[in-house]
């Protein structure tokens, strides 16, 4: 879930900066945008989804735990690097907020916190232990939820008041700020059973449903605009084409959320409501997952077209990871609630796609960093 290109920066060196020698890329936190939280999200979802397969082999559970640990390390590194970015390059940080193509990526901060927090309660539990895993999940859930709600309000506000959005420039990237509350809605159920029975459990359960509604209704406002842009103005530019996969995020994550919330509803609300929420999980999740597969086919066809036209690697390739991962977890929860083996096999197939995309994005990202390309100052 990342920009296809690094945010623009002034081509000349600032006062006090060492000029870059010709042909040698200069690495600087100045050019590290909020899109760099996407590798954290993508890595965390591979671990979380891998650890959620029922009866999976021990090797898969071990690998899932290792990937969660890697995502936690990446989160710490990116948080520190972004703190340096804000401390030393505040003008560039403000420029990111003023850029309608970059500001939506602030939603990735919330989702990175929540993705690592959710993984702690699952794939990371064996490494941390039950008590520590629960504490990590609770802290990151609180931080990610507050951040996500603020971003879900602030970025649309900036789009209305400060940004100048040209007609026909709608992008799936606009979904990023409003998807974050849906990730909170899918993480909240992990904490519901650990709260005191009564008001606390019911409050978190219904609060998670409220976050579900915030994200769902905002997504329903944005998706028609994005599709209208494709129909009236044609495919996205090659480098932006992977962003089409971002649409899968709210679809798969909402399916995951509504099913996980139904799992913990019986201990939080009265029986009639709990039974109704269980039925809602299936009646909502099945058609939404069907639409997700339709969009996956459409987005996949457009990506193949872009590859044939010469699309190269950008950080935008991380859009192939987290959104697909949410469809894996969505399929897993539907397999549990419906008992259909087909959803289990769908989850396996999507997980293979997820791991393949994560491996490709990881290798090419590391290569780009070692070559000094991804964080290099723009060429003169």
14 part of a folded domain: no
Cβ pair 3, 173 in contact under 8 A: yes
Q: Is 100 contained in some domain? A: yes
Report DSSP letters for 159-216, one per residue: HHHT--PPTT---GGGGHHHHHHHHHHHHGGGTGGGSPTTHHHHHHHHHHHHHHHHHH
Burial 286-300 (b: 16+ CB within 10 A, else e): eebbeebeebbeebe
Average pLDDT, the chain: 90
Q: Is 15 exposed, middle or buried (0-12, 13-18, 19+ CB in 10 A)?
A: exposed
* 99 neighbors 7 (Cβ within 8 angstroms): yes
Within a domain: 12: no
Confidence band of 378 (pLDDT split at 50, 70, 90): low
Could you report the per-residue pLDDT of 260-303, keeping only the tens digit for each?
A: 999 999 999 999 999 999 999 999 999 999 999 999 999 999 99
Is 15 inside a domain boundary? no
Q: What is the pLDDT of residue 58?
A: 87
The confidence score (pLDDT) of residue 372 equals: 82
Mean pLDDT for 310-337 is 96
Q: Would you give the DSSP letter of residue 20?
A: P
6 lies in a domain?
no
Average of pLDDT values for 7-26? Answer: 39
Number of domains in the chain: 1
Does residue 201 have a pLDDT over 90? yes
Question: Domain containing 65 — which CATH number?
Answer: 1.50.10.150
pLDDT tens-digit profile of 241-267? 999 999 999 999 999 999 999 999 999
CA dist 157 and 162 (Å) reads 8
Position 380 pLDDT exceeds 70: no
pLDDT band at 27 (very low <50, low <70, confident <90, very high): low
Range of the domain at 186: 29-370
């Amino acid at each position: 879930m990342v920009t296809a290109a690094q945010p623009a920066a002034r081509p000349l060196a600032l006062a006090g900066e060492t000029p870059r020698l010709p042909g040698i890329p200069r690495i600087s936190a100045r050019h590290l945008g909020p899109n760099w939280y996407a590798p954290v999200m993508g890595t965390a979802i591979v671990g979380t989804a891998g650890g959620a397969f029922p009866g999976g082999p021990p090797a898969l559970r071990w690998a899932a735990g290792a990937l969660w640990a890697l995502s936690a390390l990446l989160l710490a590194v990116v948080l520190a690097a972004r703190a340096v970015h804000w401390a030393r390059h505040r003008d560039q940080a403000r420029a990111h907020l003023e850029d309608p193509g970059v500001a939506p990526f602030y939603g990735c901060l919330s989702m990175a916190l929540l993705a690592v927090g959710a993984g702690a309660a699952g794939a990371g539990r064996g490494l941390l232990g039950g008590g520590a895993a629960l504490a990590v999940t609770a802290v990151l859930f609180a931080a990610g939820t507050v951040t996500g709600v603020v971003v879900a309000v602030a970025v649309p506000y900036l789009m209305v008041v400060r940004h100048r959005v040209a007609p026909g420039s709608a992008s799936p990237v606009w979904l990023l700020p409003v998807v974050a509350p849906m990730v909170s809605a899918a993480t909240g159920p992990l904490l519901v059973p650990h709260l005191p029975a009564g008001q606390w459990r019911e409050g978190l359960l219904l609060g998670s449903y409220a976050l579900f509604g915030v994200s769902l209704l905002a997504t329903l406002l944005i998706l028609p605009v994005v599709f209208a842009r494709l129909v009236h103005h044609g495919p996205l530019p090659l480098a932006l084409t992977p962003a089409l996969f971002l649409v899968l995020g709210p679809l798969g994550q909402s399916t995951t959320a509504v099913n996980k919330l139904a799992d913990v509803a019986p201990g939080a609300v009265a029986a009639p409501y709990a039974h109704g929420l269980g039925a809602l999980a299936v009646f909502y999740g099945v058609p939404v997952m069907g639409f997700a597969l339709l969009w996956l086919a459409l987005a996949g066809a457009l990506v193949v077209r872009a590859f044939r036209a010469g699309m190269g690697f950008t950080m935008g390739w991380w859009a192939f990871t987290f959104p697909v991962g949410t469809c894996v977890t969505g399929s897993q929860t539907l397999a549990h609630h419906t008992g259909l083996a087909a959803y289990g096999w769908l989850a396996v197939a999507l997980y293979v796609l997820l791991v393949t995309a994560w491996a490709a994005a990881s290798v090419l990202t590391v290569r780009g960093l070692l070559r000094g390309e991804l964080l290099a100052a723009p060429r003169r």
